[in-house]
Amino acid sequence: SILRRSRARRGGKRVRFAQVTVYYFARRQGFTCVPSAGGSSLGMAPRHHRARRYSLSQFAHLRQVSHRQHLRQHLRREKLRARRRELTQNGTVPSAEAAGLTLADVSDDDLDVGQVEVGDYFYLQPLPTKRRRALLRASGVRRIDAEERQELRALRLSREQCGCHCRLTCEPRTCACSQAGIQCQ
């Protein structure tokens, strides 16, 4: 067939990757992304402070180890929340014992890491505002800009409304799209 001849002529040329270069950036307050709730978006410094090269197999192994650690931390937090709920009768009765529990109180024996397939589980998870702020402080960010919260809220609200309210025909005098110089949506 024609397809077989064209493949044979190409001679099996392929792109092959031998290395992965990972660039490391310091964490900064974002101003470039919009989290789904709250303020304090996470970002990175404009320039990397370190770069490392890995072979493909080394990088795959490092990713697997990293994903397993993230999974273990996630399961540890879930177990801690469950214990606190139990001690407070599903969150209705305050408990000093529940308030004193920390992640260190959850041992590796309490986690069912073996029953979860890391590849199936791992994807970026949204972080609550408190955790984002803690990450920023741990990274050395001294002052977290409080005005970002209002800016992000305004952005989220503006993204909920897209286009104009014209129905069958466009009324240029009242159409928000037309007034902004955009073709009517």
The per-residue pLDDT for range 34-45, each reduced to its tens digit, is: 888 888 888 888
Residue 50, beta-bridge partner list = 24
**How far is the C-alpha of 56 from the C-alpha of 18, rounded, in Å?**
6
Structure tokens at 11: 């001679």
Residue bearing the bigger pLDDT, 92 or 11: 92
Does residue 7 register a pLDDT over 60?
A: no
Fill in the DSSP letter of residue 12: T
Does residue 120 register a pLDDT over 60?
A: no
| pLDDT tens-digit series, residues 138-160 | 999 888 888 888 888 888 887 77
**How far is the C-alpha of 148 from the C-alpha of 133, rounded, in Å?**
12
Between 28-42, 56-70, 85-99, 163-177, the lowest mean confidence (pLDDT) is in: 85-99
Among the residues of 35-146, which ranges form H helices? 56-87, 96-100, 118-121, 129-138
Between 71-80, 109-118, 123-132, the lowest mean confidence (pLDDT) is in: 109-118
Q: What is the pLDDT of residue 19?
A: 94
Does residue 8 register a pLDDT over 60?
A: no
- Mean of the per-residue pLDDT values of the chain: 80
What is the percent of the chain where pLDDT is above 90?
Answer: 15
**How far is the C-alpha of 126 from the C-alpha of 135, rounded, in Å?**
13
